[in-house]
Structure 1
Amino acid sequence: MSRWFSLVLVTVVLTIGAAQLSIPSPGLFVALFVAVVFALAGWAPASGLPKRLGIASQAVLGVEIGTLVQRDTLATLGDNWLPVVLACLGTLVLSIGAGALLGLRKDVDSLTGALALVAGGASGLVAIAQELGGDERVVAVVQYLRVVLVTTTMPLVATLVFSARGTDAVFVVTAGAPWYLDLIFVAFCAAVGYVLARLIKLPAPGLLGPLILATVVDLLGFSFGAGVPPVLLAAAYIGIGWQAGMRFTIESLRSISRVLPTALLLIIGVTVGCAMLGLWLTNATSITAYEGYLATTPGGVYAVLAVAASTGANVTFVVAAQVIRVFMMLFAVPVGTKIVRHYRRGSG
């Protein structure tokens, strides 16, 4: 109990500090860092994160991603659905190709390489990496490197390349549902979604089941504005970070440090490739080159939203394209992994 108390206390304090510094997804990556330190120092709880707590964290995250889908937002795509979907498919192909290159290393298997470099849903991929058979330690570190790189360079690219400037526009956030309705919505989508996903043998049921159900409920208008309470979402991020961090050892840390230079080059390659897709999307639709760049940026949905809103870009179009990208990545990877496994078993 003393180890758990120390882990919780340090994680919460540092997460609050990281949030003040505007670090992306502070709960996830602070928890990962703290858990790694505790694991290497021998201070981490010997039993690791309980499995049920890990599934609960995935379920909360799935509900949060599901609530990103809004009918009004997706409707803004109009006749541009096909170009946006093709751009997202291009991002998926780029990610898989980069993952295959990373998987050529002897210390990284192909599945881990693919999970580590898929450009979308970093927290979701970290949450289900072990369940899919990948090394979530490598996935967590490389995904965080991608998010940090994309998030920190986005304002620079917006200013230096596209000459974007801040605006005085005010964006009003409407009040959400009462807290008790939020909790009922999360509990219903998490529990029922997980059970249904298990019944139909959906891969990564803890994440995808609640995600699908929350999306359907929200699109049908039965959510009544409910969402995931910020404290509960932060707790889910922390649980996912702990799950990956507690499995670190000195040898695994050395192995990952050797992978990082290659991973960094591949992340830069994927980022540049997505920028090229953004230029193509600009020619295929009526959006500007700047909005095409934001719509295809491989990471940081909330950071993209903030930059788009503060510079007067077409926020709804950018967010719609980014949400489609995240959904596509989170569904394609687990389902693709299941198909590949089934094929391999059949061949064997």
Structure 2
Amino acid sequence: MSFERNIKATTSPGTAHRKSPLNAKHPNCDPDNAVTGFGRLKPHAQWVLLAALSVPLAAALEFAGIPAGLMMGPMVAAVIVGVNGGTIRLPRIFFFGVQVVLAMMIASMVSPHLVSTFLSRWPLFLLIVLAVIAMSTFCGWVITRMQILPGTTAIWGSSAGAASTMLLMAGAYGADVRLVAFMQYLRVVFVATLATLIAHFGGHQAVGADQRALFAPFDAGNVALTLGIGVVFGLIGRWLRLPAGSFLTPFAVGSALTMTGTVHFELPQWLLAIAFALLGWNIGLGFTRSILRHARRAFAPTAISIIALLSFSGLLAFALVAWLGIDPMTAYLATSPGGLDSIAVIAASSNVDLSFVMALQTARLVIITLIGPVIARFVADKA
């Protein structure tokens, strides 16, 4: 998902293309649309620069044994390009492909315990999800009551998930959608970075791509079948307008086929590496210079609220470890407040109970999509 597209659609439908920095006749007449830094380069040159920065960063993180280094390196490179005036954005069709590939990757790795894990512990999962929603809502309410951000912006920006829905609702309530997008982006970066560091320094060795296996032989028929199933059900998920349907629908169908032994899914390592990099680019390119300029005053309170939410999630993870004996890294990834795709990549790159992580993360996304906007609207009215 691209927040930049949602911002334009929410704030100025019908004029987004005309106001794009790449198409404006006089970009310097508006500071937010000024073409500076890397923005002066042609789009293809910006993509080349982004790739040139991403490769050594990803290689360094992979060499250091950082889980999801193939995602984190390109994400850092994309942030560098974005904050220095870059104007490129990941095309929608490419991000759809990323979601499909990641969904089928996780589906091929789930165990038959996924459904039983959820059914046997659904009261616990429900309690954890509701606790995270309550904490994120409380953080937004505090920032709003302190009048740090305009109107009800903080309430929508603090929501732990369902970002596209929150952006649309925020626009309808007169909140600043640029600040809402900034808060959502920043939380994803914080969560992904902290989870990666914990996985590395906590002794969870990466089990991801081996450089020697990057171009290992693969069965073209199995790969074509895997991608075909993923694309078809990804499109069905989008057509049904399900929450994160491009990811969850092929993931659910693929998991069912894997657990029943009906189909053997296979994806080459080089394709996974490309998907990880594109996901990192999609996150990092959201940090544009105009959004950062607009959000300078919001950075400190937003960072504090995110740290408070992550600390609360850490307490929930500690409770899971103490009461149920769950592996600490598994517990932390399961309770982390999004985003689902980045957490899935980190979980797949670490020695954790993938079924437990995906069961709780999927439950969180579905529940917050159903009740998150209602809760946020209620709190916004009261605030």
Greater Cα offset, 198-207 or 100-109: 100-109
Could you tell me how far apart the structure 1 residues matched to 2:167 and 2:240 are? 21
Query: Does 2:356 align with 1:321?
Result: yes
**Cα distance, 1:142–1:255 mapped onto 2, change above 3 Å:** farther
The aligned counterpart of 2:258 is 218
| Alignment check: 8 A CA contact 1:83 1:281 kept | no
Q: 1:164-183 alignment to 2 at 5 Å?
A: 178-183=218-223
Q: 1:113-128 alignment to 2 at 5 Å?
A: 113-114=158-159, 117-118=160-161
**Cα distance, 1:186–1:17 mapped onto 2, change above 3 Å:** farther
Could you tell me how far apart the structure 2 residues matched to 1:69 and 1:208 are? 14
The aligned counterpart of 1:50 is 91
Equivalent of residue 100 in structure 2, options 28, 41, 59: 59
Q: Which AA in structure 2 matches 1:331? A: V
Could you tell me how far apart the structure 1 residues matched to 2:101 and 2:357 are? 20
Equivalent of residue 237 in structure 1, options 270, 276, 280: 276
| Alignment check: 8 A CA contact 1:126 1:240 kept | no
Q: Which AA in structure 1 matches 2:48? A: F
Alpha-carbon offset, residue 202 of structure 1: 2.0
**Cα distance, 1:235–1:94 mapped onto 2, change above 3 Å:** farther
| Alignment check: 8 A CA contact 2:66 2:196 kept | no
| Alignment check: 8 A CA contact 1:126 1:140 kept | no
Q: Which AA in structure 2 matches 1:242? A: W
**Cα distance, 1:49–1:256 mapped onto 2, change above 3 Å:** same
**Cα distance, 1:74–1:64 mapped onto 2, change above 3 Å:** same
The aligned counterpart of 1:143 is 188
Could you tell me how far apart the structure 2 residues matched to 1:236 and 1:102 are? 38
Instruction: Indicate the SS of the match to 2:273.
Output: helix
| Alignment check: 8 A CA contact 1:278 1:292 kept | no
The aligned counterpart of 1:253 is 292
Q: Which AA in structure 1 matches 2:192? A: V
Query: Does 2:82 align with 1:19?
Result: no
Query: Does 2:237 align with 1:197?
Result: yes
Could you tell me how far apart the structure 2 residues matched to 1:110 and 1:246 are? 24
Q: Which AA in structure 1 matches 2:247? A: L
Instruction: Indicate the SS of the match to 1:22.
Output: coil
Alpha-carbon offset, residue 97 of structure 1: 2.7
Could you tell me how far apart the structure 2 residues matched to 1:233 and 1:91 are? 34
**Cα distance, 1:209–1:301 mapped onto 2, change above 3 Å:** closer
**Cα distance, 1:84–1:245 mapped onto 2, change above 3 Å:** same
Alpha-carbon offset, residue 193 of structure 1: 1.0
| Alignment check: 8 A CA contact 2:76 2:284 kept | yes
Instruction: Indicate the SS of the match to 1:213.
Output: helix
Alpha-carbon offset, residue 15 of structure 1: 1.5
Q: 1:149-164 alignment to 2 at 5 Å?
A: 149-153=194-198
Deviations 1:233-263 (A, max 9, x none): 2322322333344344323124455444334
Alpha-carbon offset, residue 179 of structure 1: 4.1
**Cα distance, 1:339–1:138 mapped onto 2, change above 3 Å:** closer
Alpha-carbon offset, residue 71 of structure 1: 0.3
Instruction: Indicate the SS of the match to 2:65.
Output: coil
Q: Which AA in structure 1 matches 2:93? A: R
Alpha-carbon offset, residue 53 of structure 1: 1.3
Could you tell me how far apart the structure 2 residues matched to 1:246 and 1:207 are? 21
Equivalent of residue 308 in structure 2, options 269, 272, 275: 269
**Cα distance, 1:340–1:222 mapped onto 2, change above 3 Å:** farther
With structure 1 as the length reference, what TM-score do the two structures score? Answer: 0.67
Greater Cα offset, 10-19 or 296-305: 296-305
* RMSD between superposed Cα atoms in Å: 4.3
Alpha-carbon offset, residue 150 of structure 1: 4.3
| Alignment check: 8 A CA contact 1:11 1:31 kept | yes
Return 5+ residue gaps in structure 2 as ranges: 1-43, 171-176, 205-212, 337-342, 379-383
Could you tell me how far apart the structure 2 residues matched to 1:78 and 1:337 are? 21
Aligned residues: 305
With structure 2 as the length reference, what TM-score do the two structures score? Answer: 0.62
| Alignment check: 8 A CA contact 1:88 1:324 kept | no
Could you tell me how far apart the structure 1 residues matched to 2:164 and 2:263 are? 25
**Cα distance, 1:303–1:242 mapped onto 2, change above 3 Å:** closer
| Alignment check: 8 A CA contact 1:189 1:210 kept | yes
| Alignment check: 8 A CA contact 2:114 2:359 kept | no
**Cα distance, 1:155–1:23 mapped onto 2, change above 3 Å:** closer
Instruction: Indicate the SS of the match to 2:231.
Output: helix
Could you tell me how far apart the structure 1 residues matched to 2:360 and 2:260 are? 21
Could you tell me how far apart the structure 2 residues matched to 1:128 and 1:19 are? 34
Could you tell me how far apart the structure 2 residues matched to 1:330 and 1:304 are? 16
The aligned counterpart of 1:332 is 367
